[in-house]
Amino acid sequence: MSGQGQEQNIRSFLIAECGRVTTTVALFDVAHGTYRLVGNASAPTTARAPWQDLQAGVREAIAQLTEMTGRTLLTDRGDLIRPVQLNGTGVDCFSFSISAAEPLTAVLVALLDDVSLASARKALQSIYALELDHFSLTDERNQKEQIASLLTKKPDIVLVAGGTEGGADERVMHLIETIEIGASLQYITERPHIVYAGNSHLRQRTINLLADTAPVHIAENVRPTLDKDNIFDAMRILGELYDEFKLNELPGLQGLLEWSDYPPVPSARAFGGIIEYLAALHKDHVLGLDLGANSAIFVSADPRRVRLAVRPDLGMGPPLMALAEKSAMDDILSWLPMEMDREALRDYLYNKALHPHTVPMSQEELYLEQAIARVLIRRLVQDAAADWGWNDNSAGHLPPFHLLVIRGHTLTHAPRPGQVMSMVLDALQPTGAFSVVIDRYGILPALGTIAAYEPILPVQVLEAGALVKLGTVVVPVGQPPPNQRVMKIKIDAAQTGNLQMEVEPRGLEILPLSPGEKVQITLQPQRQVDLGAGPGHKRTLTIHGGAMGLVIDTRGRPIPATQQGSEISRSEMVQSWLQDMGA
């Protein structure tokens, strides 16, 4: 499809998101002169046995969409009708994002854990990839043991990121020699591809050493100096290898490519792109969180840069097998409002890992699933914070941000909005003042997929209210002296009138505000309390109502494991927090 005139004639878009467990399709069309979401539907992904046909799941989702909207999109033979016909059937344009493929497996090689290894890990986490092992100067294994690890784990790629520009040569080459020996001992068809993203002075030596052993891909040095990252070229090469090794292996992909007007986009990249757009729109820091069945994604975007952490080892499906360890189970149990033994928890984890489509069948199972979500999100964010250099957040704080966007079935389809807000606040433990919205209809990857080709579509769809406003959150840092309030609040609201109140420490306060209601709040903290403007400094905010209204969290950061000077148990304390949140 080419030509400006043709692009202007495009009126309707059908966009699919093919996940590992669920496939979702969304139909967008023009209504009253602007793009709107007409409808969306989901079906199980069919890339694996017994179907072995990715396109079959997309067809099933489209069939459900036809039942919902009354708009015929497929022929009797199951082919997509394009363009829109005179009788109103069909669609003008089809595109899709995808995360249904297996993750790329990798071994990282670098000199220093907190320098070049950290940069390599950032690049790797921009795609769906699993880090199987890493070799560095702190690795106490000898060369023989490292080679044995390569032979056992059989990674798809080895990412070499050792050495700043003009830095140490021989230590990097020694690690590359280890890789060369390990690769040479494998069958030719099993040898990993080598991505060299280290000291540019060693590129030719690396090529010469590995030329007869394994394919070599050269990227710009991911850590040219001690204080500077340069990961974009490595990200590009890793993305190409992911497409080659994983996406192209999916059965039924070719059928979707024949339908599609544009190349497929990895779902994580599409989600990151729409978070980047929101950061540019608000001219502020925006966070995105996606908790899926087979992966978890965390995005940090501001007008200057975008960071993306993709974790295929964290999810509400098969990755739960890894949580059946004592420390992880202790973390999960600490977020339950009732007592549970480890054996029952282990059984639930294994069952959920094997059957990710299942939904909680009791109140206890719902609490358990939401406790698991808290632990997964906490691990995702803590690891990303460490990799991104947010080292000043030792108390668990995130940097200040304006908006949090959340998606994923466990988060967006909780029975009560208070449960969603509880999971987010307990897991992220943020501070300051910010808004929370949810991708209730699961369309953000679709908007990110089409944004580069029809940029007005996501703008108009988001302006029409595609995201559901959960509420505004205020979290102070610091505690006032004993027997003093945390802050005073003055609320000026046209609909509900004016209100003044004082907020107690170590608790949760909910002030309902109707969806769409616009109010101005003035926050006056105590001298020891900071709301993001400095200790004791007043803040005035204009906020809009939502499902939760205004939420004030004064529990402290990090959230205390027990309540000091009280005999209340941890489970009773969690139950009290859930009650305060209406969860």
The residue to which tokens 């909910």 are assigned: 510
Judging by beta carbons within 10 Å of its beta carbon (0-12, 13-18, 19+), is residue 426 exposed, middle or buried? buried
Q: What is the pLDDT of residue 392?
A: 60
187 and 74 share one domain: no
Select from 258, 255, 314 the least CA-distant residue to 131: 314
Q: What is the pLDDT of residue 493?
A: 81
Task: Give residues with Cβ within 8 angstroms of 528, minimum separation 6.
Answer: 478, 479, 480, 481, 535, 536
193-196 vs 539-544, strand pairing mode: unpaired
Residue 328 lies in a domain: no
Q: Residue 215 sits in a domain of what CATH number? A: 3.40.50.360
432-438 vs 468-475, strand pairing mode: antiparallel
Q: What is the pLDDT of residue 126?
A: 92
306-311 vs 296-301, strand pairing mode: antiparallel
Decide: 399 and 393 in contact? Cβ < 8 Å. yes
130 and 10 share one domain: no
Mean pLDDT in order along the chain per 10 residues (583 residues): 44 94 95 92 93 96 96 96 93 95 95 89 94 93 95 96 76 92 94 95 93 95 88 95 92 95 93 95 96 96 94 94 88 94 94 90 95 96 89 66 96 95 96 94 94 92 92 90 88 80 90 88 91 88 91 91 76 93 87
Judging by beta carbons within 10 Å of its beta carbon (0-12, 13-18, 19+), is residue 204 exposed, middle or buried? exposed
The DSSP code sequence of 360-372 is --SHHHHHHHHHH
By residue count, the chain amounts to: 583
Distance of CA 48 to the CA centre of its chain: 24
112 and 132 share one domain: yes
d(CA 554, CA 548): 16
Choosing from 232, 263, 294, the residue where a domain stops is 263
Residue 411 lies in a domain: yes
Select from 440, 435, 486 the least CA-distant residue to 467: 440
Q: What is the pLDDT of residue 481?
A: 81
d(CA 403, CA 286): 5
192 and 120 share one domain: yes
Residue 511 lies in a domain: yes
Residue 336 lies in a domain: no
74 and 164 share one domain: no
The DSSP code sequence of 417-461 is HHHHHHHHHHHH---EEEEEEE-TTS-HHHHHHHTTT-THHHHHH
Q: Is 338 helix (H, G, I), strand (E, B) or coil?
A: coil
d(CA 50, CA 315): 23
Based on the structure, what is the number of domains in the chain? 3
Alpha helix positions (H), 321-362: 326-333, 342-354
- What is the extent of the structural domain holding 182? 104-245
Instruction: State which H helix or E strand residue 460 sits in.
Output: helix 456-463
Choosing from 212, 245, 278, the residue where a domain stops is 245
Residue 553 lies in a domain: yes
Select from 558, 433, 536 the least CA-distant residue to 484: 536
Residue 304 lies in a domain: yes
Q: What is the pLDDT of residue 565?
A: 61
d(CA 227, CA 224): 8
* Other CB atoms within 10 Å distance of the CB of residue 269: 21
Q: Is 270 helix (H, G, I), strand (E, B) or coil?
A: helix
Neighbouring-strand partners of residue 491 = 499, 521
422 and 279 share one domain: yes
Decide: 301 and 272 in contact? Cβ < 8 Å. yes
- Rg for the chain (alpha carbons), in Å? 25
Q: What is the pLDDT of residue 1?
A: 37
d(CA 442, CA 317): 18
564 and 484 share one domain: yes
Distance of CA 419 to the CA centre of its chain: 19
118 and 240 share one domain: yes
| Cα angle 183, 186, 188; round to 5 | 90
User: pTM of the full predicted structure?
Assistant: 0.91
Q: What is the pLDDT of residue 3?
A: 38
Show the 3-state SS of 191-243: CCEEEECCCHHHHHHHHHHHCCCCCEEECCCCCCECCECCCHHHHHHHHHHHH
Residue 378 lies in a domain: no
154 and 123 share one domain: yes
Decide: 416 and 438 in contact? Cβ < 8 Å. no
Residue 364 lies in a domain: no
504 and 574 share one domain: yes
54 and 146 share one domain: no
Q: Where are the beta strands (DSSP E) in 392-538?
A: 403-407, 432-438, 468-475, 487-493, 497-503, 508-511, 518-525
The residue to which tokens 């609040």 are assigned: 489
Decide: 399 and 282 in contact? Cβ < 8 Å. no
d(CA 548, CA 406): 15
151 and 183 share one domain: yes
Show contacts of 516-519: CB within 8 Å, 24+ apart. Answer: 516/544, 516/545, 517/493, 517/544, 517/545, 518/493, 518/494, 518/542, 518/543, 518/544, 518/545, 519/491, 519/492, 519/493, 519/494, 519/543, 519/544, 519/545
Q: Residue 70 sits in a domain of what CATH number? A: 3.30.420.40
d(CA 102, CA 129): 8
